[in-house]
Structure 1
Amino acid sequence: MAVTDDAILRVKEMIVSGELKPGDRLPREADLAERLGLSRNSLREAVRALSLVRVLDVRQGDGTYVSSLRADDLLGALSFVLELHRGEESVLEVLQVRRLLEPAAAAMAAQRIAEQEIAELRELCDAAESAESVAELVEHDLRFHRRIAEASGNSYLAQLLDTLAGPTVRVRIWRGITQSGAVDRTVAEHRAIVNALAAHEPELARAWSTVHVAGVEQWLKDLT
């Protein structure tokens, strides 16, 4: 194992064990390096790496702190990585991950979704149906899926899906422009998902969500 990787692992173990908690300040660099049996250079590299993925917060003139470790903060690093990989192959892999997670979120939402949330989803379906452009339709689509993920009750899952949605926006718009019937199909599938949620049928919601996400994935596969 590389020295820097070992240093990262040592610091991570302190956080996972609870020895260092969110908001805690790390000991002085010299003291922590001696305690962990690391060189100051390797510890410094580990801190730099962990700060890039927002596990640590380096405050100039103040010290280094464990971040809040909130899902939205930590997933920001993933969002940056996804922004760097926007080729068709990378987007296809993102869609494959969405096909695994979106149906799970829909199934979870079906067990706990409230009437007000159902009403909001139906309003989004109506708005999508009257959208004046494909870009506007995609914006409603993003909000629709975000609401369902939030209704799942799992904030980590909701944030992860929201992060994964970004790289697929261009594909969704292009599909809406080029594929015959894509707009009508999108709205119809949204309504089917909402009906399954309203009936509190987890497996039906899962099935319709799978069909919906898989449609975009298959369209992109056919292009490549």
Structure 2
Amino acid sequence: MALTDEAMEKIKAMIVAGELAPGSRLPKEDALAGQLGLSRSSLREAVRALTAMRILVTRQGDGTYVSSLEPHLLLETMSFAADVSHGRTALQLLQVRRLLEPPATGLAATLLTSEDLDELGAVLERSRAAATVDEFVAHDIAFHLRIVEAVGNPVLSMLLRVLSTRTQRVRIVRGSRAQRAVERAHAEHDEILRALKARDALLAVSAATVHVAAVEHWLAASYVEADGPSTDGSSHL
């Protein structure tokens, strides 16, 4: 194990053991390095890496602290992985989204207020007026996020953001036959909203499942068209 990795594991072990609680200040560098049996340079590298992971936070002139360690905060660091995912990995992320988002949409059918439903309708109107793929995707994200947020679970909301980021959605729409994909998405969004307005949880689950499955199909098709079938008859996903 590299020295920096060892240093990171030792700091994380202190957090897990409760020696460093969320929001607590790390000991001074020389004291912590001696306590953990590390060089100061290895400790600095570990602190930088853990700060990037949102496990630690540095306050200018005040020292380094353990973050709140809220799950949705830590999940933010996964967004980059979703942004750069391609092929099979991107498809797997969407498959996980399909496992999570439809049930959340069904639950939201019983929780959304009439004001929420009006706002969702307004988002879809703005979506139809979008002049570019990027603008459409911005409204698409707002629509789905507003639904999931009604569940009141920030971890779920952040996880679903990570599973289908703005960058990934733009790439999928552009990689498919964009106009046709957008038109179909409008129709599927309408079906989701109709089920939500009817307070029909089962129908909302079904409509959301159809929608996310269609996105999976667009992604799979775009890679098949780009790469062609493999020699064993499977697609390059």
TM-score normalised to structure 2 length: 0.78
Could you say which residue in structure 2 is the equivalent of 1:44? 44
Q: CA deviation at 1:45?
A: 3.5
Please state if 1:64 is matched with 2:61. no
Is the contact between residue 123 and residue 143 of structure 2 (CA under 8 Å) also seen in structure 1? yes
2:174 partner letter: W
Decide which moves more: 85-94 or 148-157. Answer: 85-94
Q: CA deviation at 1:210?
A: 1.4
Is the contact between residue 95 and residue 217 of structure 1 (CA under 8 Å) also seen in structure 2? yes
2:33 partner letter: A
Could you say which residue in structure 1 is the equivalent of 2:32? 32
Q: How does 1:91-110 map to 2 (within 5 A)?
A: 91-110=90-109
Could you say which residue in structure 1 is the equivalent of 2:166? 166
Is the contact between residue 186 and residue 212 of structure 1 (CA under 8 Å) also seen in structure 2? yes
Q: CA deviation at 1:94?
A: 2.9
SS of residue in 2 equivalent to 1:220:
helix
Could you say which residue in structure 2 is the equivalent of 1:210? 209
1:192 partner letter: E
2:157 partner letter: A
CA distance in structure 2 between the partners assigned to 1:142 and 1:59 by the alignment: 32
CA distance in structure 1 between the partners assigned to 2:6 and 2:200 by the alignment: 47
Decide which moves more: 207-216 or 86-95. Answer: 86-95
Q: How does 1:1-224 map to 2 (within 5 A)?
A: 4-36=4-36, 38-41=37-40, 42-59=42-59, 61-71=61-71, 73-83=73-83, 85-163=84-162, 164-174=164-174, 178=177, 181-223=180-222, 224=224
Q: CA deviation at 1:53?
A: 0.7
Q: CA deviation at 1:96?
A: 2.4
Q: CA deviation at 1:55?
A: 0.9
Say if 1:58 and 1:127 are closer, same or farther in 2 by CA, change over 3 A: closer
Say if 1:10 and 1:104 are closer, same or farther in 2 by CA, change over 3 A: farther
TM-score normalised to structure 1 length: 0.81
Is the contact between residue 82 and residue 165 of structure 2 (CA under 8 Å) also seen in structure 1? no
SS of residue in 2 equivalent to 1:65:
strand
Gaps of 5+ in 1: none
Q: CA deviation at 1:39?
A: 1.7
Is the contact between residue 29 and residue 40 of structure 1 (CA under 8 Å) also seen in structure 2? no
1:195 partner letter: R
2:181 partner letter: A
Q: Number of residue pairs matched?
A: 221
Decide which moves more: 51-60 or 141-150. Answer: 51-60
Is the contact between residue 138 and residue 172 of structure 1 (CA under 8 Å) also seen in structure 2? no
CA distance in structure 2 between the partners assigned to 1:125 and 1:186 by the alignment: 10
RMSD: 2.8
Gaps of 5+ in 2: 225-237
SS of residue in 2 equivalent to 1:170:
helix
SS of residue in 2 equivalent to 1:58:
strand
CA distance in structure 2 between the partners assigned to 1:175 and 1:81 by the alignment: 19
